[in-house]
Amino acid sequence: MPYRWYPADEPEGKRLLDAAEADGMSLPVVITVDGEALVEPSDSDLAARVGLATTPSAEFYDLVVIGGGPAGLGAAVYGASEGLRTVLVERMATGGQAGQSSRIENYLGFPDGVSGAQLTDRAGLEVHGPARTVRFSDGSAIDAHAVILATGVTYRRLAAPGISELTGRGVFYGSALTEATSCANQDVYIVGGANSAGQAAVYLARGAKSVTICVRGPSLRKSMSHYLVEQIERVPAIRVRTCTEIAEAHGDDHLERLTLRDSDTGGTEVVDAGWLFVFIGAAPLTEWLDGVVHRDERGFVLAGPDLAAAGERLAGWPLDRAPYHLETSVPGIFAAGDVRAESAKRVASAVGEGAMAVMLVHRYLERT
């Protein structure tokens, strides 16, 4: 959906607030194409106003896909194209983390890179005989023969003082593409040593005055792809500070400075910084699966051969056959993409797993 974003304290934003008879104390204010003003609309209200489906058209499906990232989208497309009555459930918007990535490189068919354009509170998954029931936070539910879990992961939070207060005001998790233009000619800091951090650095360096990557380790080469390390070394605006941690963030309405700590010496330094992007890993959103499917110690969903230790039969598995490759500890419930334990954490593999999960759903349905 095309849209424009106006800060409430800028002239055009103030004019629109006045026209909407809004005081600006409750934000955001969304003005629709027909002039209606929505003050702090819920996600579902806003989605309904822009024409997105927020209620299921049926009560029973062949397949419920939970999560709208690459794995979920891949599964939904393949499921529907192969004749399964499919419903895709997504908490926010399709795309997942890939949709927030500034640049996705090395994906087949896009050699130069391509721009990237979860269920919690009171939600749950239940098994009722041959039906798998997905319950939502609004009290509604959907039944299906099979379920594909593709809920991905969420960003880990930085614990330094001042970070939480300035999140969304100069401090961002992941590469918030919408903030890139605001970083023009400014000093930007990035925390993290994985590919996502390096890709964001290269992207932001196009317009920023400087980009500094802070990593706790002695080098980027152990955690980042070789091609990306070399690319970073060729960009004059990017600086890498090794053995460096964020000790504190400072600012009133917006991030203004950072205190950096040398993890070797313990010494600190205060630097000017208007923008901080954090890439320190992610965790799965799987608490709502408690007591239903097996997960590892970090919360990732176990599936296929990872379910059985040392080749032993999975305790409680009700069928004569072993679980299929992406099948969880409950027959007919599959995991695909980043939420699955030991997954590759790549867009291409997530899309592939989504498609493979649909193939296994077909096999499951044929034998039940």
What are the pLDDT digits (tens) for 197-215?
A: 999 999 999 999 999 999 9
CB-CB neighbours of 10 under 10 Å: 10
Hey, is 288 helix, strand or coil?
A: helix
Q: Judge if 40 and 117 occupy the same domain.
A: no
Q: Is residue 35 part of a domain?
A: yes
Tokens, residue 10: 């800028």
The structural domain count of the chain equals: 3
Segment 141-174, tens digit of pLDDT: 999 999 999 999 887 889 999 999 999 889 998 7
Same domain, 297 and 204: no
| 267 and 227 fall within a common domain | yes
Same domain, yes or no: 327 and 344: yes
Indicate if 40 and 102 belong to the same structural domain: no
Which of 38-47, 92-101, 114-123 is predicted most confidently?
Answer: 38-47
Decide which of 278, 308, 326 is a domain's last residue: 278
Do 251 and 270 reside in the same domain of the chain?
yes
Domain for residue 175, yes or no?
yes
Report the pLDDT value the prediction gives residue 116, as an integer from 0 to 100. 46
Q: Would residue 348 count as lying in a domain? A: yes
Residue-level pLDDT at 241: 96
Let me know if residue 221 belongs to a domain: yes
Residues 338 and 312 in one domain: yes
Q: Is residue 55 part of a domain?
A: no
Q: What's the rounded Cα separation, in Å, for the pair 134 and 139?
A: 10
Q: Please tell me whether residues 253 and 313 are part of one structural domain.
A: no
Of the residues 239, 257, 278, the one at which a domain ends: 278
**For residue 109, is pLDDT > 70?**
no
Domain annotation covers residue 54:
no
- Taking phi over 0 as left and psi of -120 to 50 as alpha, with beta for the rest, 304 belongs to left
Token pair listed for 356: 């493979």
Domain with residue 123: its CATH number is 3.50.50.60
- Same domain for 189 and 134? no
Q: Which of 278, 300, 333 is the last residue of a domain?
A: 278
Max mean pLDDT among 103-112, 114-123, 314-323 falls in: 314-323
Q: Please enumerate in sequence order all residues whose Cβ is within 8 A of that of 356, keeping only pairs 6 or more positions apart, or say none.
A: 325, 326, 336
Token pair of 353, please?
């797993």
Share of the chain above pLDDT 90, in %: 63
**Torsional class of 323: left (φ above 0), alpha (ψ -120 to 50), beta (otherwise):** beta
Furthest CA-CA distance within the chain: 68
Beta strands in 74-140 (DSSP E): 86-89, 124-128, 131-135
* Percent of the chain at pLDDT exceeding 70: 89
Tell me whether residue 311 is in a domain.
Answer: yes
Non-local CB neighbours of 160 within 8 Å, separated by 6+ positions? 245, 246, 247, 248, 249
Most confident of 50-54, 257-261, 346-350: 257-261
Nearest to 103 by CA among 12, 195, 186: 195
| Alpha-carbon distances, residue 290 vs 90, 129, 301 (angstroms) | 20, 19, 11
**Same domain, yes or no: 42 and 71:** no
In a domain, 136, yes or no: yes
For 34-93, the pLDDT digits (tens) are 889 999 998 888 888 888 888 888 889 999 999 998 999 999 999 999 999 999 998 876
110 and 64 belong to one structural domain: yes
Q: For all residues of the chain together, what is the average pLDDT?
A: 87
Give the mean pLDDT of 92-101: 62
Q: Does an H or E element contain 362, and which?
A: helix 347-366
The boundaries of the domain holding residue 20 are: 11-49
The residue that leads in pLDDT, 106 or 199, is: 199
* Same domain assignment for residues 15 and 79: no
Residue 310: predicted pLDDT: 44
